[in-house]
Amino acid sequence: MQPELVTAPGLRSTLAEIRSREPVFHHPEFGTTRAEFDEMMDPSFWEIGASGRRYSRDYILDVLENRWRDPPQEHWETSDFHCAEIAADNYLLTYTLRQPDRLTRRTSIWRRTAAGWKIVFHQGTVVADA
């Protein structure tokens, strides 16, 4: 049995703000162009995919630019959100993502800046016994 993670009461509004952005790069209201995705990302952004591969910021921007030329018609379910402040204005968000063909646990690090939310890091891990 997995322990239940509970977000501290003082972080619930932060959780709601960040949660609305996940799964990251899949909400057209936050952007669909390379320039908008670039603005959403911290300059140091990188990702570890569910495959275990590391992806650079530039690689992810290329993938996103191609993906939004013909927007995906995906239905994904998210659940089990948890938020923790890991440094001043830096937040670790974890959640579960159910896609038609797999279940993954997701982790993102978000930074609150004067220009708005910036994603710093993202990782997906496949749940083996889903």
Asked if residues 106 and 22 have their Cβ atoms less than 8 Å apart, the reply is: yes
Instruction: Tell me if residue 121 falls in helix, strand or coil.
Output: strand
Nearest to 41 by CA among 33, 49, 53, 50: 33
User: Which architecture, in CATH terms, is 10-69+76-126?
Assistant: Roll (3.10)
Q: Domains of the chain: which residue ranges?
A: 10-69+76-126
pLDDT the model gives residue 76 = 86
Cα 12 to Cα 34: distance, rounded to the nearest angstrom = 30
Cα 29 to Cα 36: distance, rounded to the nearest angstrom = 10
Rg (CA), the chain: 15
Q: What is the pLDDT of residues 74-120, one digit of tens each?
A: 778 999 999 999 999 999 999 999 988 899 999 999 999 999 999 99
Q: What is the pLDDT of residues 25-79, one digit of tens each?
A: 888 888 889 999 999 999 999 999 988 999 999 999 999 999 888 876 777 899 9
